[in-house]
Structure 1
Amino acid sequence: MKTVLKLEEFAQFALSIVLFSQLPYAWWWFPALILLPDISMVGYFINPRIGAIGYNLGHHKGIALLVGTIGLLTQQPILMLAGIILFGHASMDRMMGYGLKYSDSFKHTHLGFVGNHAK
């Protein structure tokens, strides 16, 4: 099942690249920005609860879709870009096993524990 989920996330990441290619930005903006959503982890310097809230907001695909859709409806390429980057980043993270966080530990995610390779 984990392989199927990772393939699904890969497909969503690929979709983010396709959507990005429709925007009026040079290709290098995608790799330059794809890790930017990880700034949402800064709350972990305060405590795991605040860190999880920030991380989950920055990695929630629903928020990414909302931002991108608002950009599409208002014809604002910068918002479309933000939504696509957020969506692509969340897919990339989940493809690598990083899920939305529980408030007790950075390693405790909705996909299991990060680094736990048990099948």
Structure 2
Amino acid sequence: MDHRITVCTSCRDKGTKSRLGYGLIEKLRQGIAEAGDRIPELFEISGVACMAGCDRPCTVAFHGPKKATYLFGDIDPETDIADLVAFARQYAYLHDGWCSSVDRPGKLRKSTLARVPAVIVDSETEKAHSS
């Protein structure tokens, strides 16, 4: 299972003390399971204590081998699961994880906090610098 979805478990609903992440994880796991074979890769879905997106709760990250990582904010566990599941399907097919904002499903077009390129080290360059 090389693909991961990480959900912040510290994010609080704006104006309340309710933590959104735990419920989002369960709903996302259910949504991915219901998608079945429509998502060709398995995704590990887990929580992490903080992703530093406190001003835009709840934050969710998508990671894959040799792929760009995405961080999304303002995710609502009640209304955004379908968009997250659709992006998981899309992300699984993307060779390098790269897609433009207009290609992302629904709310994810406007709620991207970061896209971090995959780190690919050219072995020849690395050899030249280590000599």
**Superposition TM-score, scaled by structure 2 size:** 0.27
**Superposition TM-score, scaled by structure 1 size:** 0.29
Larger radius of gyration: 2
Larger % of strand: which? 2
